[in-house]
Amino acid sequence: MSELLDRGVATAYASWFRALADPSRVQIVEYLARKARPMSVGEIVAAVGLAQSTVSQHLKILTEVRFVLVDQVGNARHYRINKTCIECFPSAADVVMGKPAPGPAAGC
């Protein structure tokens, strides 16, 4: 009898996959990862071409799963990629195909 992926790990992975289930959120994560610096909401809005309220909602979801971290700078918030979580994010293909999947890192 084979063992299932630990339920806690499966729950964490499911939350990650849900967070990336929207193409705009994938674009935001990719953009922040490529720029590799903290960015204001305005900068992200200009890059993705969506309304500020929409980008803010996407950022909220991404920060909840810690793909994106928030730094308070005065009255503004700057968003940056969480390199730890991006490095430990398993590909869906690896999990589905039964390859060993790393557990969530401490910063995720």
Residues 6-64 have pLDDT tens digits of: 888 788 888 888 999 999 999 999 999 999 999 999 999 999 999 999 999 999 999 99
Residue 64 is assigned to a structural domain of this protein: yes
Residue 83 is assigned to a structural domain of this protein: yes
Residue 105 is assigned to a structural domain of this protein: no
CATH number for 34: 1.10.10.10
Read off the DSSP letter of residue 78: E
Residue 1 is assigned to a structural domain of this protein: no
pTM: 0.81
Per the structure, the count of domains in the chain is 1
Residue 11 is assigned to a structural domain of this protein: yes
Residue 22 is assigned to a structural domain of this protein: yes
Which sign, positive or negative, has the C-alpha torsion 54, 18, 44, 71? positive
User: What dihedral angle (degrees, nearest 10) is formed by the CA atoms of 16, 20, 22, 24?
Assistant: 140
Q: Are 56 and 71 within 8 A, CB to CB?
A: no
Better-predicted residue by pLDDT, 15 or 91: 15
Q: Identify the domain containing residue 57 by its residue range.
A: 7-96
Question: What residues contact 65, with CB distance under 8 A and at least 6 apart?
Answer: 15, 16, 19, 85, 108
Question: What residues contact 104, with CB distance under 8 A and at least 6 apart?
Answer: 9, 12, 13, 88
Residue 78 is assigned to a structural domain of this protein: yes
Instruction: Kindly report the length of the chain.
Output: 108
Residue 106 is assigned to a structural domain of this protein: no
Q: Alpha carbon 53 to chain centroid distance?
A: 18
Q: Alpha carbon 88 to chain centroid distance?
A: 11
